[in-house]
Amino acid sequence: MKKIVLQFLVMMAIGSFAFVGCQKSGSGGTSSTGTSTSSGDSSSSTLIGIAMPETHVQRWQKDGAALKSYAESRGYRAEVAYGDADQAVQNRQIGNFLTNGAKAIIIGSVNEGVISAVADAAQDKVQVIAYDRIISGSADYDYYITFNNFKVGQFQGQGIEQGLNLKAATADAPKTITLFAGSPTDGNAFFFYDGAMSVLNPYIEQGVLKVVGPYPQTSKDSANFQRIATENWQAPIAKTRMENLLNNDAKDVVLDAVLAPNDTLARAIIEACLADAKYTSKLPVVTGQDAEAASTASIKNGQQYMTVFKDTTKLAEAAVILADQIVKLQAINIPGATLASEDLLSIGDTGKKVVKAYLLEPILITKDNWKVPVDANFYTTEEITTNGLK
Ligand code: BGC
């Protein structure tokens, strides 16, 4: 009996030690992949759960940190978790937020498999905000906040139009391009692609721009879209695909442009090009998005051609304002965000209902205005220095 009591006491001690350990590791900053952190002034304040999809694309760490800090500055407790691009992991994290009594959950989802966790939230009367990525196939939530993603794609198309001077190109000397898309599990990837192709298709039809490799005219051509898509936005997949293109379909041409859907993939594609003698002195015009510090440095140095600056600090602030107003049952009014209507209404279409979609505006960045994100305090001095920006 004595032995059992002793064992029990030891277990209790280990348990409380582990609990203190968890609290400690969670008390500052954001957590590493798959774990969550929380802080706030009092345990009686309302909890907001923040579920971010992944850490391998830099922006999400920034988003998670900004969301947490805005939530706390409005008096909430905030827990952040990163899903490691694994929906099962993210669903468990959302489940934990519910167990911990969250009143609202802001979700940048991994893929459509999130809908079961969203259904659980609805059952508990917890408000879900789809953050940056729409949650398709669900009627269990009402709000979505994002950037105008079709416009992001249009900017990428315009970058290529400008970089190749397509307006002056002729069918006798057509320019060449190869196409990449983002993850087929992410609804945004379709908007980005369709936005870009809305600018590029007319040039392809005129014969002044030739596609090397698969050519889905729009994302609706699923078979070809799958061939150019990059599962889970993984840079190694894009790099390998670029290497294969260079050794096969693009072997006998010099590519003038590559449509790359974000900065992480753009840099992987550039890396593959730089390993090919044809491109060591002149790279193709490569697009991007996210204005990551490394890509802004690359643009300034004349490698990557353009990026799209989506001020995710503003997105995070807007999402917290939205959560605050929903939780307090107030009228919704988010400075800097516009409610999608008319031809943009489809942005909020989950396939099961049309949720209210609030949109922020992206900014096209080239060598001419690379300082815009720096002036917006989007980078710390340290990040800038690390990437060689002076
Ligand atoms: C986001 C992009 C990001 C990509 C990969 C998209 O849903 O809108 O900003 O680069 O996911 O994480």
pLDDT in tens, 333-365: 999 999 999 988 999 999 999 999 999 999 999
pLDDT at residue number 381: 53
CATH code of the domain in which 229 resides: 3.40.50.2300
Q: 210 forms bridges with which residues in the sheet?
A: 176
Which atom of ligand 1 is nearest the CA belonging to 57?
Answer: 12
Read off φ and ψ for residue 305, nearest 5 degrees. -85, -45
Q: Is the pLDDT of residue 14 over 50?
A: no
The larger pLDDT score, comparing residue 12 to residue 164, is at 164
Over range 174-181, report the average pLDDT: 98
Give the burial class of 223: count Cβ atoms within 10 A of its Cβ; 0-12 exposed, 13-18 middle, 19 or more buried.
exposed
User: Looking at the domain assignment, is residue 33 inside a domain?
Assistant: no
User: Looking at the domain assignment, is residue 37 inside a domain?
Assistant: no
pLDDT at residue number 17: 33
The larger pLDDT score, comparing residue 261 to residue 23, is at 261
The verdict on 207 and 249 lying in the same domain is yes
In this structure, what DSSP letter does residue 331 have?
P
Which atom of ligand 1 is nearest the CA belonging to 132?
Answer: 8
The verdict on 248 and 135 lying in the same domain is no
User: Looking at the domain assignment, is residue 9 inside a domain?
Assistant: no
The larger pLDDT score, comparing residue 44 to residue 306, is at 306
User: For the ranges 17-31, 42-56, 71-85, which has the lowest average pLDDT?
Assistant: 17-31
* Chain segment 236-258, per-residue pLDDT in tens: 999 999 999 999 999 999 999 99
User: Looking at the domain assignment, is residue 123 inside a domain?
Assistant: yes
Contact 345, 354 (CB under 8 A): yes
The verdict on 212 and 347 lying in the same domain is no
User: Looking at the domain assignment, is residue 77 inside a domain?
Assistant: yes
Contact 291, 365 (CB under 8 A): yes
Contact 362, 151 (CB under 8 A): yes
* Chain segment 286-330, per-residue pLDDT in tens: 999 999 999 999 998 899 999 999 999 999 999 999 999 999 999
The verdict on 227 and 162 lying in the same domain is yes
Distant-in-sequence, close-in-space partners of 6: CB < 8 Å, separation ≥ 6: none
The verdict on 283 and 234 lying in the same domain is yes
The verdict on 157 and 303 lying in the same domain is yes
**Percent of the chain scoring above 90 in pLDDT:** 83
Read off φ and ψ for residue 82, nearest 5 degrees. -110, 130
In this structure, what DSSP letter does residue 135 have?
-
Distance 60 CA to ligand 1 centre (A): 8
Contact 306, 299 (CB under 8 A): yes
pLDDT at residue number 384: 60
Predicted TM-score of the model (pTM)? 0.88
CA distance readout (Å), 103 to 19, 67, 142, 200, 217: 23, 15, 14, 44, 43
pLDDT at residue number 9: 39
For residue 248, give its domain range: 149-309
Kindly state if the Cβ of 188 falls inside 6 Å of ligand 1. yes
Distant-in-sequence, close-in-space partners of 181: CB < 8 Å, separation ≥ 6: 189, 192, 193, 216, 219, 225, 228, 229, 230, 261
pLDDT at residue number 267: 98
User: Looking at the domain assignment, is residue 30 inside a domain?
Assistant: no
Distance 303 CA to ligand 1 centre (A): 21
pLDDT at residue number 25: 30
Kindly state if the Cβ of 358 falls inside 6 Å of ligand 1. no
User: Looking at the domain assignment, is residue 211 inside a domain?
Assistant: yes
CA distance readout (Å), 199 to 5, 161, 204, 231: 73, 8, 10, 24
Distance 132 CA to ligand 1 centre (A): 8
* Chain segment 357-382, per-residue pLDDT in tens: 999 999 999 999 999 999 999 986 56
pLDDT at residue number 383: 72
* Total domains present in the chain: 2
In this structure, what DSSP letter does residue 349 have?
B
